[in-house]
Amino acid sequence: MTDTTDATASLPPIAGTLLERMGIEISEVTPERAVGTMPVAGNTQPYGLLHGGASAVLAETLGSYAAQVHAGPGRAAVGIEISATHHRSARSGLVTGTATAVHLGRTLATYQVVLEDADGRRICTARLTCMVIDTDA
């Protein structure tokens, strides 16, 4: 099993990435779970509600980070499927996402990702599957 005692310290820099643009911050990453936040401000659709695509970006980010830690050195996790159900809207504050492993296999890792508002109300439930591939030649 991969040592993940300080996985957040080894995260790649986010400068210049979609994560930076959307204000996503990762606070916890293990193969079994990843947690992060994203502000609603700047990630809304024209009517002022949190954009569903922004929710999907947060969900895929969290699941992909956890899957990459699961994959370990010399392997990569690449998203192959995501679905999201949007339960309610958010107009302000932070959204917190928690990705929880559903399946951690040799070639596939699947996560359920729950996004909640500051009051703990479920905003979105997503499911992400990543394929784990070898990157060594």
Can you tell me the distance from the alpha carbon of 24 to that of 20, in angstroms, rounded to the nearest whole number? 6
Tokens for 122? 């479920």
Q: Has 28 been annotated as catalytic?
A: no
Tokens for 8? 């957040």
Determine which one of 25, 60, 81, 116 is catalytic.
60
Residues in contact with 118: Cβ distance below 8 Å, sequence separation at least 6, in sequence order = 93, 94, 96
One-letter amino acid at 84 equals A
Cβ–Cβ contacts within 10 Å for residue 109, how many? 25
Which active-site residues does the annotation give?
Answer: 60
